[in-house]
Structure 1
């Protein structure tokens, strides 16, 4: 993971900021005791997926800790009310990932529109050449209506890309003002309206009480015949059982990067449907995205140590709106 985020120059820059302590070879930083030992006299901790949260035991063992710098976006798995009370500030590198996720969502959109996944499935499973061509009508992105659920960093990256290719964009986001929508060149609508009118629906919302399960059987039924659903956000936004039932009818197609069960079981029915395109939760995993994240972490730590304002700080009240 360190090599993914910190190319040699970035690693040297990080090392120049202070004395680095790395986990022992084979140590599991998801183990509370391992993390507590690592942070015994640390001022800053750099986290990645799988790091144990800053529990009471970890905080008690780390009296000097004052900054958590996360290489990803959401920090909910790592910080606690106790950590903020302990005086630990929090920053993250979510800005690094927005474009990568938006670009993959675009790639999935284009693949669905042109039924690339159906052609690939047919040819790989031995379907006759002529029968392999028998797919639902293929469409172009130019002139299509695309619905974006969530004007998040990834949502804005995606809508900018599809607009550049000629799509008309509808957006659902309670925090998006009319003025901001006008600046983005999109139209604010309600969820039902978006689902009914959109050829493609791409999900980019955080997981909150109001968004959990927001796409269920009723909402999926609103999609037009031949509608396309892209989810590179969070699995909890969609009722997976309802989605699977709708997909089994063949009425809609979907591209999914996130799943209720990860890793996705090898016998999961989603793996066998010709109208589903699957990727293994890797939308943000480009070389460029990882390197941007590492650079953000180095810069934030440098700013913290110099007493400068952090550019990506997360405050306690923001956790409630973070996916």
Structure 2
């Protein structure tokens, strides 16, 4: 029988309840001893728990794994992040010490893509404008022309995990899709059923532009005043990724003019201030950074985490392992 693992799970009680369904907990306990830390940000408690630990499960608010922390990790081989982005706690020291890292962000791809699709349909049919007007007591406010999905070109900026899932949904519904992603090959684009193009062409030719790019230095305000000006009158922007990608002041200027519509789940300041001018615009659909927040998504993160640790224990390849090079391209 394989040697039992010591697994440290550093997550708040509410997070554990939300992410780790009973069956996922049972899978972890079948692999060995599971030690629970209620405060993922308590470096002292983590250091005390690490000796003899083979697997560390991290969560939101994880302690940065610095050299000082890792000096206590005499047997640690795998860090399994039970959420998406690992950049807030991963350090170069982890790679220098040969630690393996995996994460559960794939569980978020489908719900975020679904919200992006819902946003896309709403923008094409001007539902957000009609909704604002109806709530204000009006009937059939004049709006820009409405369009159907299959008659529209949709531009996707970023075609990795969530972008690819969004593309899959669009293509299945019969939309024409173009994509801009420096890492997408012609072969990869063909596999997704899309055409690659440069960013300017995408902006000029798309009725809806959806952002799914990572948060990297080169993507900061990728969509600024110049880029927004390229979009045709009546076009729309979807952002369920990060506000980092957009010059929000320039976007506000365009939205105030009424020339463009937008659907936004992410903002420079969160929570969005009560007096934010975005709140008063009838051509904007707003949600409070909740695109991934389905019950199925959260339990999926726990299931992926358990699956990856089972694979590790069995000596099988991990499905979602992160290399240092791949991490550099992720948001």
State the TM-score, normalizing by the size of structure 2. Answer: 0.90
Q: Partner of 1:13 in structure 2? A: 27
d(CA) in 1 for partners of 2:16, 2:144: 44
Q: Which residue of the other structure, out of 81, 96, 116, is the alignment partner of 2:92?
A: 81
Q: Pick closer, same or farther for the CA change 1:162–1:89 going to 2, 3 Å.
A: same
Q: Pick closer, same or farther for the CA change 1:40–1:310 going to 2, 3 Å.
A: same
Q: Which residue of the other structure, out of 57, 68, 71, is the alignment partner of 2:68?
A: 57
Q: Partner of 1:173 in structure 2? A: 181
Alignment of 1:47-126 (within 5 A): 47-124=58-135, 126=136
User: Can you list the C-alpha shifts for 1:96-117, whole angstroms capped at 9, x where unaligned?
Assistant: 2222211110011111112221
Q: Partner of 1:150 in structure 2? A: 158
How far is the alpha carbon of 1:40 from its aligned partner? 4.3
1:308 maps to 2:316: yes
1:35 maps to 2:46: yes
SS at structure 1 position matched to 2:155:
strand
User: Can you list the C-alpha shifts for 1:173-204, whole angstroms capped at 9, x where unaligned?
Assistant: 12222222222221111101000000000011
How far is the alpha carbon of 1:322 from its aligned partner? 1.0
SS at structure 2 position matched to 1:97:
helix
Q: Pick closer, same or farther for the CA change 1:177–1:72 going to 2, 3 Å.
A: same
d(CA) in 1 for partners of 2:264, 2:164: 19
SS at structure 1 position matched to 2:202:
helix
d(CA) in 2 for partners of 1:41, 1:282: 38
Number of residues paired by the alignment?
317
1:232 maps to 2:232: no
After superposition, the CA RMSD in angstroms is: 1.7
How far is the alpha carbon of 1:142 from its aligned partner? 1.4
d(CA) in 2 for partners of 1:268, 1:58: 41
Q: Pick closer, same or farther for the CA change 1:37–1:235 going to 2, 3 Å.
A: farther
Q: Which residue of the other structure, out of 138, 143, 148, is the alignment partner of 2:146?
A: 138
State the TM-score, normalizing by the size of structure 1. Answer: 0.92
SS at structure 2 position matched to 1:45:
strand
d(CA) in 2 for partners of 1:116, 1:206: 28
SS at structure 1 position matched to 2:238:
strand
1:256 maps to 2:264: yes
d(CA) in 2 for partners of 1:184, 1:310: 24
Q: Partner of 1:190 in structure 2? A: 198
User: Can you list the C-alpha shifts for 1:216-239, whole angstroms capped at 9, x where unaligned?
Assistant: 000001111111100111211111
d(CA) in 2 for partners of 1:160, 1:55: 39
1:241 maps to 2:249: yes
d(CA) in 1 for partners of 2:164, 2:175: 14
SS at structure 2 position matched to 1:314:
coil
SS at structure 2 position matched to 1:77:
coil
User: Can you list the C-alpha shifts for 1:133-156, whole angstroms capped at 9, x where unaligned?
Assistant: 322222111110100111111111
1:4 maps to 2:18: yes
d(CA) in 1 for partners of 2:60, 2:35: 18
d(CA) in 2 for partners of 1:280, 1:19: 38
SS at structure 1 position matched to 2:46:
helix
Q: Which residue of the other structure, out of 195, 201, 208, is the alignment partner of 2:209?
A: 201
How far is the alpha carbon of 1:266 from its aligned partner? 2.4
d(CA) in 2 for partners of 1:280, 1:152: 23
